Amino acid sequence: MSKVLLILHVLAAVIAIGPVTVAASMFPAAARRAFIEPGSGLSVLRALNRICRVYAVVGIAVPFFGLATAGSMRVFGDAWVLVSIVLTAAAAGVLALLVLPGQNAILAALDAEPPSEPVTAGRVAMYTGMFNLLWAVVTVLMIVRPDRPQAREW
């Protein structure tokens, strides 16, 4: 059962978190282009924002399967799992409280007449980088498992 849960956890991460990281990373550059040439790229920005919002909801499956996997593998109390849980919650917070509202502010500014770039445009790129970095660290922790004894490599 542990292997099935682990497979579901990894698949959920690849399918849900991957699109969010890519779409969120593409958003700031597309926003800059849209501010330079008003009216161009607005549909692309809306699509990227929608991808981020939809896959953020789908991404709830990742910690759900992760907690189930940790429980079935009896590693729930291991430091790498606890740190991963905290970092996953932080990544979710960055996405929900900083990235998505920043994207929404940019879309609202582009819809205004005349379009005006909000102060948050540069920050969205930074928040997206923070979100991506948190997921990268979680991924490394899942692979390395620092406090688990490692088998000898020959």
pLDDT in tens, 108-123: 888 877 766 666 778 9
> Amino acid identity, residue 34?
A
Task: Please state, in angstroms and rounded to a whole number, the distance separating the CA atoms of residues 135 and 21.
Answer: 9
| Count of H-run helices and E-run strands, the chain | 7, 0
Q: How confident is the model at residue 34 (pLDDT cuts 50, 70, 90)?
A: confident
**At 24, phi and psi to the nearest 5?**
-65, -35
- pLDDT score, position 41: 80
How big is the CA angle at 102 (ends 89 and 131), to the nearest 5 degrees? 35
Contact 103, 77 (CB under 8 A): no
Provide the mean pLDDT of the chain.
89
- pLDDT score, position 115: 66
Residue pointed to by tokens 């509202």:
101
Res. 89: pLDDT tops 90: yes
- Among 29, 11, 138, which Cα is nearest to 83's? 138
Collapsing DSSP to helix, strand or coil, 23 comes out as helix
The region that residue 36 occupies, defined by phi over 0 for left and psi between -120 and 50 for alpha, beta otherwise, is alpha
Q: What is the pTM of this model?
A: 0.87
CA 135 from chain centre, in angstroms, equals: 7
